[in-house]
Amino acid sequence: MREHQTQVRKTAEDLMKTGKARLFIGYTEGLEAARPVAFFLKDPERAGALVLNEFCGAGLAKYVLDEAVSPDALSGEPLPPVAIVAKGCDALGLERLMADNRVPRDELYIIGIACHGIVDPGKVLEVTGEEPVSAQVEKDHVAVMTTRGSHRLAKAGCLMDKCLTCEDPTPRVYDVLLGDPVQEGPAGKRDFSGVTQVESLSPDERYEFWARQFQRCLRCFACRNVCPACNCSVCSLDEREPEWLSRSTDLPEQFMFHFTRAYHVAGRCVACGECQRACPVGIPLMLLNEKFMKDIRDLFGEPAPHRPSEVEPLGKFCPDDPEGWLKEAETA
């Protein structure tokens, strides 16, 4: 991925100088080498500050909600698009926003990145006891340079969780693609093994499992804020009249919050894994999202329910629906 950094800088500079983009959303260096942060480039002279490397994992899609507002509110003139760097998972998030009519396609210029996987610095630290500074994802392993030396690590042990189940490493939508298309995710396909494991528990054990997870929740809403499928203008969880969710963090309210979140994105979740990545206490939110994905796959015959389509699985009317109430409603 690092090999495309120069191209990203050049593309940003060209787009901004020629007026083809009014803003370029990418990454820049964070406080640590392995933790780049989002960067909003408005001055083409600063394109050299953009970075692209194997640690650029945070999804950028949700930022366009605040930025893609055209025509200009004051002049009424159409504005140039917002340019954004997008790996496969980020592009799914952009598709979600477009499918939900939150961002028009022509307000975006998407610099697609064919992705081989992103390294999780926390995992490297856990495995090696050392802070990573650079990494290269190879076919069957990851070569990581740390502050003290080099390591050859298994992909499963150091890539971000979302990369281990990635099915769309190449963006499905883009204006320009950097790198050759990558056909398979870095560690094979999603197999729902985590969901199957939880499903095999008894109802009491399942309750205990989720109660243990949810009682750690800080209700910081990072999972919601980063989620491209959570894109309502006003979130009902923020409303005070009526107050759908109290400020209390007792267990019933925690269950209420988490089920509300999971049901809200059911059939619309793009499996970008951002909610789980952003969670400061490591709640395995993807298990809930994947449970819905698995059920939609099995019950509705949707082979890839995370890919936005014109008609979402839970929005289809089908006369052969196994639930009898549809026919009853028709004949009533």
Relative to beta strand 176-178, strand 108-113 is parallel
Of the candidate spans 28-36, 146-154, 212-220, 233-241, the one that interacts with ligand SF4 by CB under 6 A turns out to be 212-220
How many of the chain's residues bind ligand SF4 (CB under 6 A)?
A: 39
Cβ neighbours of residue 102 closer than 8 Å, sequence gap 6 or more:
65, 231
Would you count residue 192 as binding ligand SF4 (CB under 6 A)? Answer: no
CB of residue 86 to ligand SF4, shortest distance in Å: 9
Is 89 a binding residue for ligand SF4 by CB under 6 A? The answer is: yes
166 binds ligand SF4 (CB under 6 A): yes
Q: Answer for the pair 266, 277: CB distance below 8 angstroms, yes or no.
A: no
Using CB under 6 A as the binding rule, whether residue 51 contacts ligand SF4 is answered as: no
57-67 as b/e: b if 16+ CB within 10 A: bbbbbbbbeeb
Q: Which residues of 13-40 are buried (b: 16+ CB within 10 A; e: fewer)?
A: bebbeeeebbbbbbbbeeeebbbbebbe
CB of 83 to ligand SF4, least distance (A): 19
- Would you count residue 98 as binding ligand SF4 (CB under 6 A)? no
Phi, psi of 25 (to 5 degrees): -100, 120
Smallest separation, CB 260 to ligand SF4 (Å): 12
Distance CA 66, CA 6 (A): 27
Q: Give the Cα-Cα-Cα angle 43, 44, 46 (nearest 5 degrees).
A: 75
115: contact with ligand SF4 by CB under 6 A? yes
| Of the residues 12, 58, 227, 266, which one makes contact with ligand SF4 according to CB under 6 A | 227
Residue carrying the six token digits 């340019």? 83
**Closest separation between CB of residue 286 and ligand SF4, Å?**
6
Q: What mask of x and - would describe binding to ligand SF4 in positions 263 to 302, judged by CB under 6 A? A: --x---xxxxxxx--xxxx-x-----x-------------
CB-nearer residue toward ligand SF4: 220 or 299: 220
- The answer to the question of residue 94 lying near ligand SF4 (CB under 6 A) is no
Instruction: In angstroms, give the least distance from the CB of 239 to ligand SF4.
Output: 17
Q: What phi and psi values does residue 48 have, to the nearest 5 degrees?
A: -65, -15
Q: Judged by CB under 6 A, which stretch of 41-49, 69-77, 103-111, 225-233 contacts ligand SF4? A: 225-233
Residue 15 in the binding site for ligand SF4 (CB under 6 A): no
Q: What is the distance between the alpha carbons of residues 151 and 118, in angstroms, rounded to a whole number?
A: 16
Minimum distance between the CB of residue 133 and ligand SF4, rounded to whole angstroms? 19
Tell me which residues touch ligand SF4 (CB under 6 A). Answer: 57, 87-89, 115, 117-118, 160, 162-163, 166, 169, 185-186, 217-223, 226-229, 265, 269-275, 278-281, 283, 289
